[in-house]
Structure 1
Amino acid sequence: MGGSKEAGWANQILKKAQLVKLESHEQNLADTLIDLCYNAEKRTGVPIGIALAAAFDLLVSAEYYRNLTNRGWCYCPEHQSLIFPYTNTCPACVLSAKFYYHRSNKPESGKIGTATSRLLCVFLDRLFVKSSKNFKIYKGSEPIDILIHDEKENVLLLAEVKAAPLITLPLLVRSEEKLTDLIEGEIVELPHTAVDNSSLASANICLLIPIHKDGLWHSKLVEFQTKEGNLTNTNWAYTQLENIFKGNNDLFDLYLDSWQRAFEAYQVAYHKKDRTSNVFWLTNACGQPKPRPDEWPARSGTGYESVSDGKTSVGMDRTDDIKKGIYQVLKLGAESKPNNKQYQIKTALISNIHAARHYDEYLTSLQDVVWALDETGLAKKAGELDIETPIYNLFDGIISFTQNHPRDEWIREHFRF
């Protein structure tokens, strides 16, 4: 009877789970980006995990760009452009250390989690295909985010997913003329201000990539095709990103260099309190501007608006997510590992980027924890347990592209980033 119950538990969670089915536009862009990553590793020696993390941000960006509308644009007089930003400041000017507040177009935190969790499954699926691993990825139901099934080795990985991008590149449309207003009888150019982009369907939309050259940050503009005819085609950004990056190693190298510098700036700002790199202000969770301009707006309650707040923390770096993730992995392990003999059950935290700011504070002391069940409630040492008592890892793996901590051979073999 016990065996039947155990088999029923494992089959039940797989029955409830939904196989992640890839859309062609997701698959094509992911394949293009992954190929660029491995080419970059061979040509430049960049760690493959860093390249994959940077590429994943582009995949997420394509999803964000689906919501591009006529509203939400910022007019920048210094660059005579309309800009669609993803942090609360003009991105072209902040690269010169100038802060002009404009509300960002980032999705709500709940929508970010849903999008990134799915796209991480897409990205992992294509990585598995590239390395000839025939794994199936499922979207789970509470408390399981995703399941990865290796039928050949009879492994079932139950994972909690916490993922969010480091940076979302802004979009820009050059303005053919300066935007003006009549002030006290004089025609003057508008300052930085929110405007509608009424010609979005026919405008040449550009991707704004920050470039570091000769010690300074600059903007490189890469043109998409116009959005004309694509107003109802929400997949247009996937196609556009695939078109501009496919086979373009030089462009990807420029982007990758900037992404690495941004990731370094993100970490240094927290650990060394150094916010001098201007690209830092394009990263998520970068906080309030420093120095803060006199005209920077106050919040409705207390304090001042941020350039990007902690709710959009990078990867698994949001502290509430880390704490929830620890509990969920423990719960998954406790409910599955002792009660199942049908599969080799593994449990893990999975993200695109490790908790670069908070890993030591929240995870270092727990990463090598093992546990066992003691129904007597009396054991104080492992030797006081029955000799056949199983020992389980709290984390079989803390997995991300940028840093891995595997405690299991299957995870060590199949998640080499």
Structure 2
Amino acid sequence: MPILPYFEDVPCGINDGSAKASLREKISTLQENLVRIPSGSPDDVIDTFLDSYKELRSNGYDVSPNSALACLFDLLVSAKYAERLVSDDGWTYCAGHDIDEGPSLYFSYLKTCPRCSVSKGIKPKVDSNKPKSGNIGDISEDSNYQIFRHMISSISSDVKIGKDSRTRSDIDVVIYNDERLILGETKSSPLVLYPLEIQLDRRLTEVSNGESVEKTDHTPATKDVMSNEIYMFVPHRDERISLGSANSGNWPYGGINDYIDEPLNIKFLIDAWNELYDVYKSNPYADEDLRRYILCGNGASLDDSSTSIDDSKNKPGMDRTDDIKKGTYQSLKYGTYFKEKSENRKISAVISTNMFPLRTYKRYLAEMVKVVWTKEEYSQNVNINLDDSDIRAFKKSDLFYLYDAIIGLSESIYMDKDIKSLVSIDEYMSQ
């Protein structure tokens, strides 16, 4: 497969004569499968959101860029779900009993009514429109990369980013310039997915026992999405973002752009996201908080352990133990198969994510982030008065961090400070 011209200059690759032949062969194979990060309407959302956020910052809004970027990620993934999945089918009818809002239809990605679960604590089981795990991964990863691409291009025009196009590959993403090649394993998943809503002017009816009766609450419904106004619904704040009908130009991104072009709406979204972040951060099995039922990966209902609202495997970011274990192995593999094979130590190994692990960090990562490794073959003789069995000496260049960085939108850890200068949020905000 021919290498795209954009990626011909990858360090240690096909055109790097200074690299060992064995390493150059591996990187060349990677080069052949690298593709550029998709571009399009999501980039307009990123630009508009961050322009409005920076305007807020200039006017004294003191909320960290980490929260803003993590909030942006969830908004972007929600928009992509809407674009890809919305249809006449898949809606759930909510009569709005005991709610002063009237009836609506909801296109939900979790298995409960987004309005009733948050406002009344009622968690009826409804059909989920969440796509298969493979599609979830693609949407989440690309969203992560698109945000990083925006940041990287603002920091330096010399830094490039690409992803491996193979379905099963060891390396998810590469970031590089002339001096550094960063190999990344990506673990991305949203904290919240905002459902869609169509508001109704009356309650629906159905036929039962030969009579027309009021339609049963929280049952499946269909609606012509091409002729009805659709909203993106923020359940815990009872806020709606007008998207227009599904046949509107640039749907749903046009409506989202109109909304986030107003900086105060960005403030609202970030504050609303931080509220849910705090809910997720708290003990999930303490006093019941109804807002937890709109969070991804929230598992079963507290009062019905047999009913899963969203599989716990869908926890946000890399907050699953399996994600941390795989990410750790991949980082070690990047080190032993690539990083140490580079004589000038041009290669780094990172994990990238949208949301830094909260519930699993202390148990699985806190004691590992500063781990360094090496191999016996790198040991050096030293002239000291100790038995050889008591001490081994290694050059600094032959000691490797297990993780050169864990790069997240909500939080990051950098062991290799050179990486921080290329991709960090602090560096981006200083531009």
Fold match (TM-score > 0.5): yes
Identity of aligned residues (%): 27
Unaligned runs of 5+ in 2: 1-16, 97-101, 382-387, 426-431
- CA 1:157 to 1:204, structure 2 compared with 1: closer, same or farther past 3 Å? same
- CA 1:137 to 1:99, structure 2 compared with 1: closer, same or farther past 3 Å? same
> Is the aligned partner of 1:69 residue 2:87?
yes
Superposition deviation, residue 95 in structure 1: 1.6
Instruction: Give the equivalent residue in structure 2 for 1:103.
Output: 127
Superposition deviation, residue 222 in structure 1: 2.5
Instruction: Give the equivalent residue in structure 1 for 2:201.
Output: 176
Instruction: Give the equivalent residue in structure 2 for 1:328.
Output: 330
Superposition deviation, residue 26 in structure 1: 2.4
1:352-367 maps to which residues of 2 (within 5 A)? 352-367=354-369
Contact kept, 8 Å, 2:370 with 2:402, in 1: the verdict is: yes
Instruction: Give the equivalent residue in structure 2 for 1:122.
Output: 146
Question: 3-state SS of the aligned residue for 2:376?
Answer: coil
> Is the aligned partner of 1:222 residue 2:247?
no
Instruction: For 1:250 and 1:61, locate their aligned partners in 2 and report how far apart those are by CA, in whole Å.
Output: 20
Deviations 1:286-345 (A, max 9, x none): 1212334xxxxxxxxxx6121111121101112211111110110011111221135611
Superposition deviation, residue 6 in structure 1: 5.8
Instruction: For 2:352 and 2:296, locate their aligned partners in 1 and report how far apart those are by CA, in whole Å.
Output: 19
Instruction: Give the equivalent residue in structure 1 for 2:339.
Output: 337
Taking structure 1 as the reference length, what is the TM-score of the superposition?
0.86
Contact kept, 8 Å, 1:36 with 1:249, in 2: the verdict is: yes
Deviations 1:56-79 (A, max 9, x none): 111111111121111110000014
Quick one: which amino acid aligns to residue 18 of structure 1?
L
Instruction: For 1:282 and 1:132, locate their aligned partners in 2 and report how far apart those are by CA, in whole Å.
Output: 38
Question: 3-state SS of the aligned residue for 2:241?
Answer: strand
Q: What CA RMSD, in Å, does the superposition of the two structures yield over aligned residues?
A: 2.6
Instruction: Give the equivalent residue in structure 2 for 1:53.
Output: 70
Taking structure 2 as the reference length, what is the TM-score of the superposition?
0.84
Superposition deviation, residue 185 in structure 1: 6.0
Q: Which of 244, 256, 276 is equivalent to 2:270?
A: 256
Instruction: Give the equivalent residue in structure 2 for 1:149.
Output: 176
Contact kept, 8 Å, 1:224 with 1:244, in 2: the verdict is: no
Superposition deviation, residue 181 in structure 1: 2.7
> Is the aligned partner of 1:394 residue 2:394?
no
Deviates more, 1:316-325 or 1:379-388: 379-388
1:13-412 maps to which residues of 2 (within 5 A)? 13-42=29-58, 43-66=60-83, 67-78=85-96, 79-96=102-119, 97-140=121-164, 142-151=169-178, 154-184=179-209, 187-210=212-235, 217-228=236-247, 236-245=251-260, 247-270=261-284, 273-274=285-286, 276-292=288-304, 304-341=306-343, 344-375=346-377, 383-387=391-395, 390-412=398-420
Instruction: For 1:137 and 1:35, locate their aligned partners in 2 and report how far apart those are by CA, in whole Å.
Output: 22
Instruction: For 1:256 and 1:352, locate their aligned partners in 2 and report how far apart those are by CA, in whole Å.
Output: 15
Contact kept, 8 Å, 1:207 with 1:224, in 2: the verdict is: yes
Question: 3-state SS of the aligned residue for 1:348?
Answer: strand
Contact kept, 8 Å, 1:348 with 1:395, in 2: the verdict is: yes
- CA 1:410 to 1:416, structure 2 compared with 1: closer, same or farther past 3 Å? same
Quick one: which amino acid aligns to residue 180 of structure 1?
T
Unaligned runs of 5+ in 1: 211-216, 293-302
Deviations 1:381-410 (A, max 9, x none): 894145577100000111101121110111
Quick one: which amino acid aligns to residue 323 of structure 2?
D
Contact kept, 8 Å, 1:9 with 1:340, in 2: the verdict is: no
Quick one: which amino acid aligns to residue 53 of structure 1?
A
